[in-house]
C-alpha cells in the first residue's frame, strides 16, 4: 500500500489530488488551510493520515488545533513525533482514542542510521509512548543502513521503516514487501516531502516489477 504525502501549499491543489488517490498523508504544517478547511478535506476522503511537523510558522497550540480538526472529521491515521512534548502528545492521543483513528509514533534521524540495538530501543519507545504503529525514518548512507532498518520488520509489532536520502530509496521500495504496513510517495517528481522520497508513478513501477519477480502483491 502506498500513502501519497501531500504538502500543497495551495488548498485547491490538495483537494484535486485527494479526489484521485486512495490513501493520503496531509502535511498540515505545509498546507495553507484553516481548521475548518482541514475538517472539510478529511471528511471528504475515506483514508487520510494527518500529521503536523514542528514549524517556525506554527506553535504547538496551532498544530494541535489542526490535528484535532482532522480527528474530528474522521482521520484514519495520526502521526505524532516521539520527541514531542509529553502533555501535548497525550492530549492528542486521548482525542484519537475517542475515534477509530490509528496512532503512529514516529522518530526521524536526519543525521544517520543508529545501531540495530538503538533502532530497536527507539521502536520500543514509540510503542511505550502509545503507538499502534511505530515509524522509524533514518538517513541512509550505505546499504548496511538499509539492512538494519529492514531488519526491524522481523519483529511482530507493526513498524514503518523509511530510508531517507538517495541511498534510502531501496529501503522505501522493499519495506512494504517485507512487512511494513505501507510506504510513502510524493504525488509527482519535485513534490517530495522528505529526502529520498520517490514519486507515486516510480514507486508503483518498482513495486510492480518486484511483484512480478516475487509473486507478492505490494498494493
Give pLDDT, residue 204.
97
For the stretch 163-216, pLDDT in tens is 999 999 999 999 999 999 999 999 999 999 999 999 999 999 999 999 777 766
Lowest mean pLDDT among 3-17, 53-67, 150-164, 205-219: 205-219
- Please count the other Cβ atoms lying within 10 Å of the Cβ belonging to residue 20: 8
CATH topology of domain 2-214: TIM Barrel (3.20.20)
3-state secondary structure of 160: strand
Q: Do 146 and 175 meet the contact criterion of CB atoms below 8 Å apart?
A: no
Of 10, 98, 107, 108, the catalytic one is 108
For the stretch 73-115, pLDDT in tens is 999 999 999 999 999 999 999 999 999 899 999 999 999 999 9
Interatomic CA distance for residues 159 and 119, integer angstroms = 11
For the stretch 124-157, pLDDT in tens is 999 999 999 999 999 999 999 999 999 999 999 9
Q: Which of 166, 218, 161, 160 is nearest to 192 (CA)?
A: 166
Active site residue 135: yes
Q: Do 146 and 168 meet the contact criterion of CB atoms below 8 Å apart?
A: yes
Spans of all domains in the chain: 2-214
Active site residue 45: no
Of 10, 98, 110, 135, the catalytic one is 135
What is the residue whose three cell numbers read 529526502?
195
pTM: 0.94
Beta bridge partners of 108: 137
Average pLDDT, the chain: 95
Indicate the pLDDT class of residue 218, thresholds 50, 70 and 90: very low
Kindly give the residue spans of alpha helices, DSSP state H, lying in 85-214: 86-97, 116-128, 143-151, 169-174, 200-214
Amino acid at each position: 500500500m502506498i500513502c501519497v504525502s501531500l504538502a500543497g501549499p495551495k488548498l485547491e491543489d490538495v483537494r484535486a489530488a485527494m479526489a484521485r488517490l486512495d490513501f493520503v498523508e496531509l502535511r498540515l504544517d505545509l498546507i495553507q488551510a484553516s481548521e475548518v478547511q482541514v475538517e472539510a478535506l478529511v471528511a471528504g476522503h475515506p483514508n487520510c493520515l494527518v500529521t503536523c511537523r514542528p514549524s517556525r510558522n506554527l506553535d504547538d497550540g496551532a498544530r494541535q488545533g489542526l490535528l484535532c480538526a482532522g480527528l474530528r472529521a474522521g482521520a484514519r491515521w495520526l502521526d505524532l513525533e516521539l520527541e514531542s512534548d509529553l502533555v501535548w502528545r497525550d492530549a492528542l492521543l486521548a482525542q484519537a482514542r475517542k475515534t477509530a483513528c490509528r496512532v503512529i509514533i514516529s522518530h526521524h534521524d536526519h543525521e544517520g542510521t543508529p545501531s540495530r540495538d538503538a533502532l530497536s530501543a527507539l521502536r520500543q519507545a514509540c510503542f511505550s509512548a502509545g503507538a499502534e504503529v511505530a515509524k522509524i525514518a533514518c538517513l541512509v548512507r550505505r546499504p548496511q543502513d538499509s539492512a538494519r532498518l529492514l531488519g526491524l520488520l522481523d519483529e511482530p509489532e507493526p513498524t514503518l521503516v523509511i530510508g531517507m536520502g538517495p541511498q534510502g530509496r531501496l529501503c522505501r521500495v522493499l519495506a512494504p514487501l517485507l512487512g511494513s504496513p505501507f510506504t510513502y510517495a510524493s504525488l509527482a517528481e519535485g513534490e517530495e516531502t522528505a529526502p529520498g522520497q520517490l514519486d507515486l508513478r516510480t514507486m508503483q513501477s518498482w513495486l510492480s516489477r518486484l511483484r512480478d519477480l516475487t509473486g507478492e502483491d505490494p498494493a
